[in-house]
A and B are shown apart, each in its own frame.
Chain A
Amino acid sequence: MPDKPMVNDRYQRMQRTASIHLKMEAKNTLQKIVEEFPNNPAQMDHFYRKARIFTGEEKFSARGRHVVATMCIHVPIELILAAGAIPYRICSGAYATDQIGAEFLPAKSCPLVKATLGTIFLHLYQYDIVPDLIVNPTTCDQKKKLAELSGELTESPFYTLEVPPTRDSEDARIYWQRVVKRFARRLENLTGTKITRRKLKGAIRQVYRAQVQYRRFFNLRKGLPVIWGKDAILVTNTYFYSDIEEWTNALEKLNGELEQRIANTDRVVSPRAPRILLTGSPSIFPNMKVPILVEQLGGIVVAEEFCSSSRLLYDTVAVDEWFLYDMLPAVADRYLKPCTCPNFTPNTDRLRKLLDHVREFTIDGVIYQAFAGCQLYEMESRLIGNALEKNGIPMLYVETDYSPDDLGQISTRIEAFIESLKTRKKKKD
């Protein structure tokens, strides 16, 4: 481990305890996910194993390649792949690192930001690898400040990806394309590999392959409930740090199994179970509190509108002329135009997307998860709630964080919500 300004006894103690806590936390969550639910698909084993990275049971080697850590969903993965580096996303869902991060941030900060800061500070990345570059998109205010704060705490260089505050205007697009091109240059300098036509095209197609499987997975869930939502969330979570080819192949196998299940009408839950759409602040392993509760209490999560799932992989790149002059802006556009992250304004597209999901997935109710301190999601909940109400879709607003303290309180609320959905559904039938 390289030298750091704060390497001292206290730091090492913190690192040790946090690491132990993280492993325990991951183990507990994984146990819940794997053992407390019946009828998990056999092909999920790959993803469970991948999640064991947090418990230290799974190792990873970068094989001498550069590692680029990313946050949020605005970082063009294609460029990192084309430059020959390994991308992985370090947005954290661990309570263990959340507590560490809380030391440096105001009390009412978002747990995701706190946990990520804790991860960076203690080097508790999914893999035991210190990233060669941490890419920090300027999304919400807290993420913006994260880089400055962590600058003091880690020796990994930060790269600020300037995300425009709006995405509908021409100016924003052009600006963002320029940012992405500059980023491409930075990556070239980092890895010493030129981003060439062939490489970028290859990377785009590599991501296509993942997207084909993801979209297949996504569409499968529109019908019979053949997979638990907690598993689905885990699948997209592992994409954060998996080798993209490996992940794609595993998902392909899983999709095959799920299709078989549909053919055999092998449901994981009764069709009476209310179909839930989760949205808001992202559930990232090991913080699977809400989805697990929903499914333990008789609901089934059939769709998530999270930056850790559908927003991450759904939209595609289209290139007219397969040259860098068109591919780079095309890649840039794909990360800006369809993104429904609430850091953009206006963000009415998120509402449209939710309404579309409600229709497509025959949703009975929406659960809106907002992390305490995540201002943007908290603020948007009002608009979304009103619009859903207008469309006759009940919504439960859940404010939560990474600590297990509020488990009792939210479980009561979710239970009540699911019961009411069940009654509604019965009446409809």
Chain B
Amino acid sequence: MKKLSTFVNNANISRFRFYIQLLSFIVLIYGGYAYISIGQNLPTFACPYNHATAGNCFLISLQHQLHNSWQNLLGFRGIALLSAIISFLLFFILLNKAWCGYICPLGTIQDWLTSLRKRLGIRFARYEESTFRKLKKVKYVVLVWLIVAPLFIANSVFGLPRLSHDFFPPFCTICPARPVLPLFTGDTSQYFIDFSSPITLTMTALGLVIVALFLVGSFVKKRFFCLFCPMSALHYLFSRLAILRLTKEGEKCTKCGNCFRVCDVNIVEIADDVTHRNIVQDDCMMCFKCVEACPEDGCLKVSVLGLPIFVSSEEGFFHRYGPLENKEIKDA
């Protein structure tokens, strides 16, 4: 048992993550060809605009469920909405935000762009902390938009005129996954600008601008889009219910900042917060690179139902970061 845990703690989780990401990318993007259907309410960007998708993103079903009159929502549609949320939660609590770090195909694409940039030797961008704090709020704004807009499309609120149906689905029209993911099954049909009304014109153009920014942004900035992702915001609301957890024992932390340095999403708290045990922040994607980079035994811990499965350790750190008998030392 001890041998096994040492083996896991010394393992290169990033490499493991790469393969898991690749696998889930293939399953989610091409699974439809093999008649795989995982569910309608997946807590990740499995985009149904991709015809071979193996499941549906919860956000699109949420938008559809909310696109209902008040009386419907209070009636049986409300029950359907509730059951959709419950099914989302059942999926979510298994993996917590690791859905982002390990499963999300859009996140995987961003990671691939990052390794492409690395290969080219172009340095990454980092936000200043104040900019970061401002930008990270955007995802909540998007979340509110995607919840409120369908209601406003289907209902007249306070006697205001209803929102045009051309906005629907309010998030998918601006989501980069809609044009990007179908590309992998050779479908370029989402790259159009719809001139049929000023709203569709604006929304489709905005959608394409966002795709372009997504491509450029995630090339220079690690996990660029995740900062704005409403799914991430939604995850965070329920993060405490999940069985997979990332905890930190503050007493053991020397604040060396290794975890912050390797963090793809700029979370300062992972290094500086020594009081809270549950260290998962709203931007966290649970890639566990921080656990890899932590040289303190048992300071950062990944656990399932309180059972530690991957724990930071000194031995593991040096295993991953410093191959000890290294030729390069002699070369240098």
Contacts and interface: CB of A to CB of B under 8 A. Distances in A.
Interface string B30-69: 0000000000000000000000000000000000000000
A314 B328 contact: no
Contacts of B326: 202, 205
A203 B322 CA distance: 11
A170 B250 CA distance: 20
Contacts, number: 104
B291 to A, nearest CB: 12
B108 to A, nearest CB: 18
A323 B271 CA distance: 22
Given A208-B322, A319-B321, A352-B251, A201 B256 contact: no
B223 to A, nearest CB: 12
Contacts of B331: 198, 202
Nearest to B118: A321
Interface string A199-210: 101111110110
B73 interface: no
A309 to B, nearest CB: 14
Interface in A210-235: 211-212, 215, 219
Nearest to A336: B257
Interface in B285-315: 289, 293, 295, 314
A82 interface: yes
Contact of A318 (B118, B130, B250, B262): B262
A16 interface: no
A201 B254 CA distance: 23
Contacts of B255: 337-338, 349
Interface stretch (A92-100, A141-149, A255-263, A325-333): A325-333
B124 interface: yes
A315 to B, nearest CB: 4
A177 to B, nearest CB: 11
A129 B262 CA distance: 40
B121 interface: yes
B191 interface: no
B254 A353 contact: yes
Given A316-B256, A359-B251, A205 B293 contact: no
A314 B254 contact: yes
B329 interface: yes
B324 interface: yes
B314 A320 contact: no
Contacts of B118: 321, 323
Nearest to A330: B261
Contacts of B272: 168
A219 B314 CA distance: 11
Contact of A323 (B123, B251, B328): B123
A215 B297 CA distance: 11
B329 A356 contact: no
Contact of B328 (A205, A316, A338): A205
A355 interface: yes
Contacts of A206: 329, 332
B200 interface: no
A123 interface: no
A212 B317 CA distance: 10
A330 B293 CA distance: 12
A205 B326 CA distance: 8
Interface in A154-199: 168, 170, 174, 198-199
B124 A170 contact: no
B332 A338 contact: no
B209 to A, nearest CB: 29
Contacts of B322: 204-205, 208-209, 212
Interface in A340-368: 349, 352-353, 355-356, 359
A349 to B, nearest CB: 6
B160 to A, nearest CB: 43
A206 B329 CA distance: 6
Contacts of B314: 215, 219
B321 A355 contact: no
A17 to B, nearest CB: 43
Contacts of A202: 326, 328-329, 331-332
Contact of B254 (A203, A204, A338): A338
A338 B257 contact: yes
B251 A209 contact: no
Contacts of B252: 356
Contact of B256 (A205, A219, A338, A356): A338
Contacts of B123: 321, 323, 325-326
Contact of B121 (A201, A323, A359): A323
A68 to B, nearest CB: 17
A198 B293 contact: no
A334 interface: yes
Contact of A198 (B256, B257, B328): B328
A337 B328 contact: no
B329 A316 contact: no
A352 B257 contact: no
B326 to A, nearest CB: 5
B236 interface: no
A316 B321 contact: yes
Contacts of A353: 254
Interface string A390-424: 00000000000000000000000000000000000
Contacts of A316: 256, 258, 295, 317, 321
A321 B257 CA distance: 15
5 contacts: A198-B332, A208-B321, A212-B322, A330-B261, A349-B254
Interface of B: 118, 121, 123-124, 128-130, 250-259, 261-262, 268, 271-272, 274, 289, 293, 295, 314, 317-318, 321-324, 326, 328-329, 331-332
Given A212-B322, A318-B261, 13 more contacts: A202-B326, A215-B314, A315-B256, A315-B295, A316-B317, A318-B321, A319-B262, A321-B124, A326-B261, A333-B256, A333-B257, A352-B250, A356-B251
In the A-B complex, the 7 residue pairs with the smallest Cβ-Cβ separation, listed nearest first, are: A202-B332, A318-B258, A208-B322, A325-B123, A338-B256, A337-B257, A318-B293
